[in-house]
Amino acid sequence: MTRSMATKKPLTYKDAGVDIDAGDEVVDLIKPIVRRTYSPRVLGQHGSFAGMFRLFGEGLFRKQYRDPVLVGCTDGVGTKVMIAAERKVYDTVGIDCVAMNVNDLIVQGAEPLFFLDYLGLSRIAPKDTAAMIEGVAKGCEQAGCALIGGECAEMPDIYRQGDFDIAGFCVGVVDHKRIITSKLVRKGDVVIGLAASGVHSNGYSLVRRIVKDARLDMDRAYPELGRKPLWQVLLEPTRIYAKPIVKLLAGYRRKMVVSGMAHITGGGLPGNASRALPSHLDCVIDRSAWTPNPIFPFLQKHGGIEDDEMFRVFNMGIGYVMFVRPDFAKAVVTKLKRMGEKPTVIGSIEKGTGEVRWKE
């Protein structure tokens, strides 16, 4: 051994930017947070290599799902995380992550069962990282599913200091005969829209461009947006529709009252409601039936964006749509209101070519 090698400090993983002790601290911090989401069907110990969920352990489950089909999806939050990172707000985008997954999953008529999250980080700061996972746990509680595992990857060579990304993976179940597909949609079905909480988690590349070009002050509370500063309005978590939709569907076990559903994400109403349609029917929407959240006209004004582009990029105040048999539409609206939703009849299903049209 040369003299220079003998006196050189031994290289460690921490020197390369990865702190194993910080990762272990996060595991300990999130243990009570994660356990809040558990149901009796969650098996195994916290910190295991993989999460386990018992599918056929309860008598009630067997009665509800005679021919169960597993439904899976994965999604992230997009560039909304950049605003969260800039503002050092870590406890909301976890809710967004859950919402983007479970809101997709329930479109098929499925009940969310369990969730896993993935965090990519420049550095594991235990309290900040635990706050991110706290948000995921809150989202799981809102959705009625269990957070059974996840991964925190510390990668300083990929993420700049302070940057992070979050993604999720959700698995649910639906009985085969209760799967909702476009084959169920009929002419005359009523289109019901559920109110969004705000921008949700799509279109943030355009949002950030508007903020930059218009030189908007993120710390300012603009009168048209209420008392919250702009950054807080933009970080409003995506609304999770899982519990009311699952409960509503469970109340109609013998009849397929709901013929179609769509989660309104990137592509807006035109790009998402059309995915629930057969090729011979159109979804005709009356844009005057509801008032978009104040954030949308605010962004449109400061960005100089045309109406069609706004509706193609953003949810414009409708985060979820349902196609419902006309004889049951009034009852469905009443039930959803009792569950805390804000449903509005916004259109109908008519003959067409599988597209969304605006009512003239």
Q: DSSP per residue over 84-119, as a string?
A: HHHHT--SSHHHHHHHHHHHHHGGGTPEEEEEEEEE
Q: Is residue 7's pLDDT more than 70? A: no
Topology match between the domains 9-178 and 182-358 = no
CA distance 92 to 133: 10
R_g over Cα of the chain: 23
pLDDT tens, position by position, 144-199: 999 998 888 889 989 899 999 999 999 999 999 999 999 999 999 999 999 999 99
CA distance 357 to 282: 7
Task: Please say whether the beta carbons of 171 and 41 come within 8 A.
Answer: no
pLDDT number for residue 271? 96
pLDDT tens, position by position, 194-243: 999 999 999 999 999 999 999 999 999 999 999 999 999 999 999 999 99
CATH no. for 182-358? 3.90.650.10
Answer yes or no: CATH 3.30.1330.10 is held by domain 9-178: yes
Helix 93-105 to helix 242-250 angle (10° resolution) is 30
Q: Is residue 266's pLDDT more than 60? A: yes
Helix 126-143 to helix 20-35 angle (10° resolution) is 30
CB-count burial class (<10 Å; 0-12, 13-18, 19+) for 151:
exposed
CB-count burial class (<10 Å; 0-12, 13-18, 19+) for 357:
middle
CB atoms within 10 A of CB 49: 6
